[in-house]
Structure 1
Amino acid sequence: MIDTHSHILPYCDDGAGNWRQAEQMARQAAAQGVKIIVATPHHRKGIFLNRPSHIQSLVTRLNKQLSDAKIPIHICTGQEYHMTSMIMADLASGEIQSVERTKYILVELSSRNLPKLVLPYLRVLKSRGLIPIIVHPERYEPVIENLSLLSGWLREGAFFQLTAGSLTGQFGPAVQRTAYTIAEYNLAHLLASDAHDTSQRSNRLGQAYEMLEKEFGRELSDRLKNNASLLLQNQPLLIGVPKRLYRAKWYEFSFIK
């Protein structure tokens, strides 16, 4: 199993606070059957700045530590890029780190106030040959209130990655309902832990996959697992046939197949 999104690197953001905690997070992930973790420290979110060279140095050190400790986990490079008006400058200077040097990048939006230029920014990334994966869309308040936002982003070539903790109820019932709705209507393409530690924001990937399979069947959970592998191979992701949205708010959703 592959975890495509974890804040497992220490000394860079609000994830692991030290090397010992990073090792504990890896052990916790391995116990769930995870073999590969994509390290995705925040970049451009508040005070957090994590450029590719810094990420690579931390990943190299952590991989050696895990090898020495005989923990069967391999860490890949990645980044959670917080979309801001700096995107053009960051593209020009090479500050955006794709997932393990593929064409895929993880993009985070503001939880409460979405940037007005989301669609133009997505077009810019696409014009540079990059494919945006919008992380935890179910946790953005504007999306919870108006799921039709996802339709526009999907048309611009974006993919969506759910957080395991959203499905397990870690972020409350509204987020959980939204996550399940996104999954139910084939708008989810990846599932990741977004783990930050071993307690409050721990890795719940195995539990979330079990919940998805129980609720929607094995086809969906297998597709999301396969997409994680395809992502690291820089291959096109598998897409379920989405159902068409009639109304915008989760509590009055109506779809046609």
Structure 2
Amino acid sequence: MIDIHCHILNQLDDGAKSMEQSILMAQQAVDNGFTDIIATPHYLKNSFNTPGSSVIEATQKLSNVLQQLQIPLNIHTGQEIAITDNIAINISLGENLSLAKSKYVLVELPRHDFPIYSEEILFQLLLDGFIPIIAHPERNQRIMDDPNLIKNVINRGSLTQITWGSLNGFFGKKSRKTSEYLLKNNLVHFIATDAHNINKRSFDIVAAKKHLKNIISPEQQMYLQNNNRLLLQNKPIIQTEFKTLYSNRFFSFFKTKV
């Protein structure tokens, strides 16, 4: 298995706090079937603004340690980049990193908003030759209130990544329902751990994988799994249409009940 979003690099953001924690996270990832992960520390001005060069250095350091310990996990470079209008420029300067040196870029929206400028920034990234992947939209307050907000940016070429923990209800009932809605309406292209530690926000996805089997078909599960591999190989992601199981009316009903 491949994970495209996690915070395993230590002392760069709110993820692992030490090399020891990074090692424990790596072992847990292997125990859960992961062979490759993309390390994606936050890049958020005035909070976490570690430059790409430091991420590359930390990734190489962790990779060396894991090799010495014979922990069979490949670590690739990346960042979870807060949405701004200069992402493409920052990538060209080395300040920001795409995922595993690919054309795919992990972009984070504000937690409580979907600013009107977001669509234009995402579209500009596409024009600049990058493919934005919107991190955990099911945890965005505006999208939880109206998940169809994400449709337009997907139709224009952006992709989305939900979190395994959302399927478990770790981020709340509304986030879980939103992730289910997005999955059943063909609005998800990746599922990732967004792991920060070995406890609550971890690589342990056993229960979430069982729940996923009750939500979507085996064919769609394979599609999501293959997308991780295609990203790592920097190959195109085809937006395959699966049968739509939920209607807008269903989600309106859900909003009245939460």
What is the TM-score with the length of structure 2 in the denominator?
0.91
Report what 2:121 is aligned to: 121
Report what 1:35 is aligned to: 35
Q: Which amino acid aligns with 1:15?
A: G
Report what 2:143 is aligned to: 143
Equivalent residues of 2:8, 2:25 under 8 A apart: yes
Q: Are positions 1:81 and 2:75 aligned together? A: no
Q: Which amino acid aligns with 2:138?
A: E
Q: How many residues align?
A: 253
Q: Which amino acid aligns with 2:232?
A: L
Q: Give secondary structure in 2 for the equivalent of 1:43.
A: strand
Equivalent residues of 1:146, 1:248 under 8 A apart: no
Report what 2:193 is aligned to: 193
Distance 1:157 1:210, change over 3 A: same
- Identity fraction in percent: 36
Matched residues in 2 for 1:55 and 1:248: separation? 44
Q: Are positions 1:233 and 2:233 aligned together? A: yes
Q: Structure 2: which 5+ runs fail to align?
A: none
Q: Which amino acid aligns with 1:52?
A: G
Q: Give secondary structure in 1 for the equivalent of 2:133.
A: strand
Distance 1:22 1:212, change over 3 A: same
Alignment root-mean-square deviation, CA: 2.0
Equivalent residues of 1:187, 1:240 under 8 A apart: no
- Further displaced range: 129-138 or 106-115: 106-115
Matched residues in 2 for 1:39 and 1:250: separation? 34
Report what 2:10 is aligned to: 10
Q: Give secondary structure in 1 for the equivalent of 2:147.
A: coil
Matched residues in 2 for 1:94 and 1:244: separation? 42
Q: Which amino acid aligns with 1:251?
A: S
Kindly provide the CA deviation profile for residues 142-188 of structure 1, in whole angstroms up to 9, marking residues without a partner as x: 00111121111112211010100001110010000000111111111
C-alpha displacement of 1:124: 1.2
Distance 1:249 1:150, change over 3 A: farther
Equivalent residues of 1:83, 1:109 under 8 A apart: yes
Q: Give secondary structure in 1 for the equivalent of 2:59.
A: helix
Q: Give secondary structure in 1 for the equivalent of 2:105.
A: strand
Q: Are positions 1:166 and 2:166 aligned together? A: yes
C-alpha displacement of 1:35: 0.5
What is the TM-score with the length of structure 1 in the denominator?
0.92
Matched residues in 2 for 1:49 and 1:145: separation? 30
Q: Structure 1: which 5+ runs fail to align?
A: none
C-alpha displacement of 1:17: 0.3
1:206-245 equivalence runs, <5 A: 206-241=206-241, 243=244
- Further displaced range: 4-13 or 113-122: 113-122
- Further displaced range: 153-162 or 83-92: 83-92
Q: Which amino acid aligns with 1:157?
A: G
Equivalent residues of 1:113, 1:142 under 8 A apart: yes
- Further displaced range: 43-52 or 143-152: 43-52
Matched residues in 2 for 1:147 and 1:170: separation? 19
C-alpha displacement of 1:191: 0.6
Equivalent residues of 1:189, 1:224 under 8 A apart: yes
C-alpha displacement of 1:44: 1.8
